[in-house]
Amino acid sequence: MAKRKFSLSALVSNNKLVFFFALLVAIVLWVAVSPSGTRVISGIKVNIVTEGTPAGNSGFQVVSGQGQEVAVTISGEFSVLNGISASDIEIGYSLADVNAAREYSLKLTAKPVGRSDFTITAVTPDTIKVRFDQSASNTFIVQPQAKGAVAETGKVAEAAVMADSNQNTIRITGPKTDIDRIVTVQAVAEVNKTMSQTESFPAKIVLLDKDNQEIDQSLMELSFQDPQITVQISKTKTVKVVPTFEGIPGYYQENDIPYELNVSEITVIGTPETVDEMTEIALPAIDFNTLLNKKNVFNLEVNLPLGVRSSDNVTQVTVTVDLSRMRTDSWTVRRFEAANAPADKTITVVTSSRQVTLVGNRYSIWDISSDDITLVYDLQDINVSQGEHLVPARVRVDGYDNVWGVGEYDVQVRIE
């Protein structure tokens, strides 16, 4: 087959090819004659400033929506557009309507900064959502919660406490609307185990509103995060309450003292080791020197070992000693006797006599004579330097173990 020869006339006579060539030339000429166009600059951040505005003067700040990015379409000569950057463009907005704590839709505008050789034709998006609020702070009590904490049989898992007592309260700062919603602050630990001894667990802070719904705290600043809570494993036991006495007359050392308790036993709770060792709760001692011939009533504090408390919050027990069947009488005492006297000192009683009060069996008191009564003064805690001293004394009744002296007495002595 014979080869075709190239023919310029044939090429020129091809109408389609001529049209395409003419169009291409027209485009090139148009670009050369019209050196202008458009360009889109993306990633321009919107910085909302409230200072110096009515909103700012009212204390409103941007809570969320700061730093959103927009795209700006610009037009101008191609030689200019290629040199334009985000710093050459200023995004505008109006805060005139911002007068309450809520979310607003802000209409955006844009303009060139410091130059006029290009034109802004569009901002995309042209509206952004921004939340405004005032800043507020408040201090809340932290309520520790140990979820799923169970004590082994025979023991008690007590209510959780904060491991660090300095974290019993927490300071929270954030949008006032959110702060005002906070009703409860909890430190919640997922324990979910049977416990045999006291342990501490990591916890997280949870904020709850009045409906017990959790509040988002992402916009808030907390004075501490990630606390620990402690779950104490304790034991309970019911223990007998026992009154104690001092200065007991001989008769009552062998016979029951007529007393009544308003609480005869107390259920205690505390560390298992300490509770196991408790057999009774001894009340502070009642001195027979204070007991008169009547119903003597004493409200005594309950002193428990460290780490133990009353599960019923019993802090006092009333002891009533009924001696209303006894008799009282007054006597003049002229007999004195020293106790714990130093061997190298001479003791002389300056006091000639003292009036004392006796309480006891009525028949015994009738039989007593002054020779049966002695005031015993004790020098054990007295500075035994030379000179006169006023020293405490107690009544002793010889031969009658169901009679005792009441009241406070002293004797003046000379030490040489």
Give pLDDT tens digits for 92-135. Answer: 999 999 999 999 999 999 999 999 999 999 999 999 999 999 99
Asked whether residue 231 carries a pLDDT value surpassing 50, the answer given is yes
Give pLDDT tens digits for 1-22. Answer: 444 554 545 544 555 655 666 6
By residue count, the chain amounts to: 416
- Give CA separation, 353 vs 54, 87, 333, 374, 409, in Å: 92, 108, 5, 10, 11
Q: Dihedrals φ, ψ of 27, to 5°?
A: -65, -45
Q: What six digits make up the tokens of 301?
A: 């504090």
**How many Cβ atoms sit within 10 Å of the Cβ of residue 397?**
22
Asked whether residue 150 carries a pLDDT value surpassing 70, the answer given is yes
As a whole number, the mean pLDDT across the chain is 91
Give pLDDT tens digits for 267-294. Answer: 999 999 999 999 999 999 999 999 999 9
- Give CA separation, 281 vs 66, 288, 315, in Å: 66, 20, 12
State the distance between the two ends of the chain, measured CA to CA, in whole angstroms. Answer: 162
Give pLDDT tens digits for 61-89. Answer: 999 999 999 999 999 999 899 899 999 99
